[in-house]
Amino acid sequence: MSTKKTKVAQLPLPKHYDPQNATNADYSVRDITLLQTCAEAWRKTHKIHPVNDDAKNVQMLIIDDQVDFSFPTGSLYVAGRSGTGAMDAHQRLVEFLYRYLDLISGITCTMDTHLPYQIFYPSAHLLPDGSHPQPNTVISAKDYRDGKYEPNPAMAAQIGLSVLDLRRQFIHYCEQLEKTGKYMLYLWPYHCMLGSPGHRLAGVVDEVRLFHSFARGAANIPAIKGGNPLTEHYSIFSPEVTTLWDGRPIPQAQKNERLIKTLFEADVVIMAGLASSHCVKESIADFLKEIKAQDESLVKKVYILEDCTAAVVIPSGPDFTDDANKALKEFENAGMHVVRSTDLIESWPEIRL
């Protein structure tokens, strides 16, 4: 019996798409009405059916493809070892989405969303002389116990805690992180600040999200994460720490049950985004944990586009590429599929479209 798979037709790239925009931090969709008109014409020309008629529910999860991560001018550019990692990843991703636009049922773009005072920012912490530690500083529970750092009273006042209680929370938080063995508390440069230019989606990613939405009648609503002052939120599915020092839950620090349900109901889940060493890695790890808790056979429907992501590599600082590669291997060993956007989709293992 033949095992040859049916060839899946690819759509051409639409005329409005310019690959050079994948390297342009200033590019954005200026005229959404015009894009809508183009998408609806594209639908008619190529006889594209609405998502409600899809035989298979194929969901695309794009993690944190935002300006601050995507371009050298961003405050936390995900360069990868090549130096052009995020930009290359975006070009491959959007071209994949345009080619298979008629197969993708929904696109969820997650958006890291931050405020001036959060536990992973220098603003939250003070050195003995009253100055703030520098970005890219690593803080341990012992550092706080030894008095190397103190909480910023301004942050304590904002969230209604005493400085003593905030200090207790920071110690507890660092202890909880250290118990997992994943990360210690890392002070990041300010990035993806709500309302800032760096917060928005990379222009080519936003463009394909909107084009797909208008062409196929998909909602494609972004998923917001990262605004809680007392916890990090690498994963779109759940925060890193969920408890206060006294055992109570951190207010509004809970799982994204709605997105978990959306992906569980899909026939195929495709994941990509930034960065493979942090938010992509933790999101996939969380989703794998949910799968194992509910139905381990579902792991086979997850596909990771390895060439549509990149790792954090900080100049004269940490290089997290090996962490990212190790995680991808672990996900593959668990039954997920690590694939490339440039491979024919019908060649992907166990794909059923």
pTM: 0.94
How does pLDDT run across 237-290, given as a tens digit for each residue?
A: 999 999 999 999 999 898 999 999 999 999 999 999 999 999 999 999 999 999
Tracing tokens 């400085």 back to the chain, one arrives at 163
Same domain, 139 and 245: no
CA dist., res. 119 & res. 132, Å (int):
13
**Got the DSSP string for 283-301?**
HHHHHHHHHHHH-GGGGGG
In a domain, 193, yes or no: no
Number of domains in the chain: 2
pLDDT bucket at 7, cuts 50 / 70 / 90: confident
Instruction: Return the C-alpha torsion angle 267, 273, 277, 283, nearest 10.
Output: -40
Q: How wide is the angle at C-alpha 102 spanned by C-alphas 100 and 108, nearest 5°?
A: 80
For tokens 């006042």, the residue is: 157
Q: Say which residues have a Cβ less than 8 Å from residue 199's Cβ, sequence separation at least 6.
A: 66, 67, 68, 111, 112, 113, 192, 193
Determine, yes or no, domain membership for 238: yes
Mean pLDDT of 98-113: 98
Q: What is the pLDDT of residue 1?
A: 38
Question: What is the CATH classification number for the domain harbouring 230?
Answer: 3.40.50.850
Does residue 1 sit within a domain? no
Quick one: pLDDT at residue 139? 98
Residue-wise pLDDT for 154-196, tens only, equals: 999 999 999 999 999 999 999 999 998 878 999 999 999 999 9
Structural domain of 287: 27-112+204-253+264-345
Residues 215 and 317 in one domain: yes
What's the pLDDT score for residue 317? Answer: 76
In a domain, 89, yes or no: yes
CB 231 within 8 A of CB 121: no
Note the pLDDT of residue 334: 97
pLDDT in tens, 21-61: 999 999 999 999 999 999 999 999 999 999 999 999 999 99
Under the banding of pLDDT at 50, 70 and 90, the label for residue 2 is: very low
Mean pLDDT score of the chain: 95
Give 114's pLDDT tier (boundaries 50, 70, 90). very high
Judge if 222 and 246 occupy the same domain: yes
Q: Are residues 152 and 226 in the same domain?
A: no
For the ranges 62-66, 211-215, 312-316, the lowest mean pLDDT is seen at 312-316
Q: What letter does residue 181 receive in the DSSP assignment?
A: T
Tens digit of each residue's pLDDT (9 = 90 or more) over 29-40: 999 999 999 999
**Same domain assignment for residues 216 and 180:** no
> Is 146 a member of any domain?
yes
Picking from 186, 221, 239, the residue at the C-terminal end of a domain is 186
Question: What contacts 131, CB < 8 A, 6 or more positions away?
Answer: none
Q: Is the pLDDT of residue 130 over 70?
A: yes
pLDDT for res 314: 81
The reply to whether 239 and 285 lie within a common domain is yes
Enclosing H/E stretch for 139 = strand 138-139
Residues 288 and 173 in one domain: no
pLDDT higher than 90, residue 302? yes
- Residue 283 lies inside a defined structural domain of this protein: yes
Query: What tokens does 169 get?
Result: 């929370």
One-letter amino acid at 129 equals D
Q: Looking at the domain assignment, is residue 97 inside a domain?
A: yes
Q: Last residue of a domain, which of 137, 157, 186? A: 186
Of 275, 234, 212, 232, the residue nearest 70 (C-alpha): 275
For residues 221 and 149, state if they share a domain: no
**CA 133 to CA 149: how far, in whole Å?**
9
Q: Domain check: are 55 and 182 in the same one?
A: no
Q: What is the pLDDT of residue 3?
A: 52
Whether residue 235 is found in the same domain as residue 297: yes
Same domain, 211 and 301: yes
In a domain, 16, yes or no: no
Tell whether 137 and 241 lie within a shared domain. Answer: no
